[in-house]
Amino acid sequence: MSVIWFASQNENKIKEIKEMIPEMEVKSLNDLEKELDIPEDEPTFELNALFKAKTLSNLVEGIVIADDSGLSVVHLDNFPGIYSARWAKPEKDWNVINDMLLDKLMDNNLFNDEQRKAFFTSSIAVIDKERNIEEVFTGIVEGVIMYSQMGDNGFAYDKIFKPDGYDKTFAEMTKEEKNEISHRRISISKLREFLKENNYF
């Protein structure tokens, strides 16, 4: 089985990648001998993903992937966007962070679904220096921000995001339901097709 390196320490994301690309052995930053903290200072999801993939590709052999993803609220100028994972630091409790974002919407008088439009973005970069490959695949899911947290599944902002066309949040869906429509599923599906076309599995 071929190895693919994933530039992440996020166990939830690592698990999703393993489930969606079962044909390859997924290794992550957690498998490195020394800890590697890669900054996310680029202005877009795509460039952040590329930078992370390039950084790891300098340390390991073979194909490397990296993702950057987040939630953007349209009427907050797409906040938190690329800062989704860190705007609330040092707070780490996602229940608290979700409530902080809900309060921010209320403070900005965003009271109805039209005003609370949002979208999830997932950009996945793939680099294989030996084959001179450098690509980025992006998936987007549009929806609205709910008025309270709902559901017990998922992670991060899943409890407050309801995708268009559905009557429940990501966190109210089963893992299988979410994985059928999620932004990461879209980007990974594009990645899978690319890997297959280029004979990685």
Q: What is the pLDDT of residues 138-160, one digit of tens each?
A: 999 999 999 999 999 988 999 99
pTM: 0.91
Q: What is the pLDDT of residues 54-96, one digit of tens each?
A: 999 999 999 999 999 999 999 999 999 999 999 999 999 999 9
| Active-site residue, selected from the candidate residues 31, 37, 41, 68 | 68
The domains found in the chain, sorted by start residue, are 3-197 (3.90.950.10)
Nearest to 179 by CA among 6, 16, 63: 16
pLDDT over 90 (residue 26): yes
Is 68 among the catalytic positions? yes
State mean pLDDT over 124-129.
97
Q: What is the pLDDT of residue 170?
A: 97
Residue 93, beta-bridge partner list: none
User: CA–CA separation, 199 vs 201, rounded Å?
Assistant: 5
pLDDT over 90 (residue 130): yes
Q: What is the pLDDT of residue 34?
A: 82
The structure tokens listed for 15 are 């698990």
End-to-end CA distance of the chain: 8
* Mean pLDDT score of the chain: 94
Share of the chain above pLDDT 70, in %: 100
Between 22-31, 36-45, 167-176, the lowest mean confidence (pLDDT) is in 36-45
CA atoms lying within 13 Å on the CB side of residue 114: 0
Q: What is the pLDDT of residue 154?
A: 86
pLDDT over 90 (residue 39): no
